[in-house]
Structure 1
Amino acid sequence: MTTGDVVKMDELDRARIFDQHRDLLQAVAYRVLGRAGDSEDIVQETWLRWSGVNPVEVVNPEGYLVRVATRLAIDRLRSAQARRESYVGPWLPEPILTSPDIADSVAMADSVSTAILLVLEALSPLERAVFVLREAFGYSYAEIGEIVDRSETAVRQTARRAREHVEARRPRYDTDQAIRQKATESFLAAAAGGDLKALMEVLAPEVMLISDGGGLAPAPRKAIRGVDLVSRALVMFAGRMPEDPSLSIVQLNGGPGIIVRSGPTPVAAMILNLVDGVVESIHLITNPEKLTGLRFS
């Protein structure tokens, strides 16, 4: 973020300036919220604010837009956290399709991984926003202070608390994309083929399966742990897939993931977290409200 002369926005195309920052706003909002649909709402609300701003008062368009989007996301997260107290079964972040350039950046892939997004759930909305702006996007403490309306000293303290919390709970997992791709391919072949023995070979002894159906799709209400129970649960899941399903490996949340579709409709998304080349945990999302962003375009 940089400052400069007042931008004479009456001489510029307002929509073009907003579109230049749309991806950034979406990325910030998603990392703060963990929900793609809510993030899109935040971007739209930011546009409404932007369309009504007095052009001569805008010194820095990026700063203004990120400030509005972040504050809206913090407010949305406060209400979302209250709603999650009544959520049916485990809650997982909404999966999103990501581009190869995110996967090529370890820092950016880490910031959008479901494993890290789950750790961020324990932070307060303000702590989460400060952590995201600092660690994922590299904003200075002074810039973050302007965004969240806090002093630079307060932001530094908040960032330290958030970083300590995340580092203490950060799960260890493989980041090498080639290893993850190969393991995902082996896992998919074994699970889709109902090969219990082959499936057990790619799972860690204490592997954990976390399923998010949100009460809207069949899913275990508690995590399943242990290679025997998890492998059998996955074979059972494969047996319940719709007729003529299509299974594909795509980039989900910064790494290879699996999408199961019935026609154009996604019915499940699966993300594997590896440690030393074997699957340590599996995030399975079947809640249809969390899969709408994975439809064929």
Structure 2
Amino acid sequence: MSDDEYLARRFEENRGRLTAVAYRMLGSTAEADDAVQDAWLRLDRADSEGVDNLPGWLTTVVARICLDRLRSRTSRREDPLDVERPWVDEDAVDPAQEAVLADSVGLAMLVVLEHLTPAERLAFVLHDMFAVPFDEIAPMVARTPEATRQLASRARRRVQGAPTRVETDLVRQREVVDAFLTAARGGDFEALLATLDPDVVLRVDAKVASFGFLKDTVGAQEVALGFNGAAQTAELALLGGAVGLMWAPGGVPRTAFVVTIEDGLIVAIDLSMDPDVLKRLDPVPLDF
């Protein structure tokens, strides 16, 4: 058997597990197949002789491919979720747990997973579904193992329907939002990044998007680039009882910046110029 034939056989031995990972990450059999094929192409080009743990190496490659694809999605999927063929890999976990997963990876689970950030989804899928240690997942999401453990814990609470740890203390909210605003105004890119979750989501409504300055964006680097040196006329405000930002030329609220904070970091910013939204939020300048 040639080296190429041996490598192809080893890859096929792992295809079931790899497709299971990719399907749970992407929610589509077609995309999962594409991700696994991409992993094969990377393996074919790599120096596999230096790979001691081929299954682990392939799982990492597929996970990174899926993470990149999830992060590239700047809006919610419009295609129907593909749940006709939930992948079951008998070697991924023990048979009893796999039987539970086979039942759970249907439409309901995929709908919930769609609402996780890419990093949360990767941490939850790899650790909770495939028992990958946090110290192996951490480099994929550029976090420490402990921070990765928190990602999976937050994702687990969302999957189980438990409330996430959204910051509700107004003083703490103000500290985080004020740090974001100060960094944005001052063009301090690193300080701006420090206020943002790596997978922060920026969402803008149609009116905001029509100006062409900001668009739906995912990821701290991209969101920070959009705000760096900007927000010069924004001010801290209470929006629906939470601390956010508003733009109010002449004292009339025109834009609301709704900020969601979890674990001390901004995980979402929603910008709206919709009069109905502004009326509901009832922006009030902060006086504390």
TM-score (norm 1): 0.47
Which is higher, the Rg of structure 1 or of structure 2?
A: 2
TM-score by length of 2: 0.49
Higher relative contact order (CA 8 A, sep 6+): 1
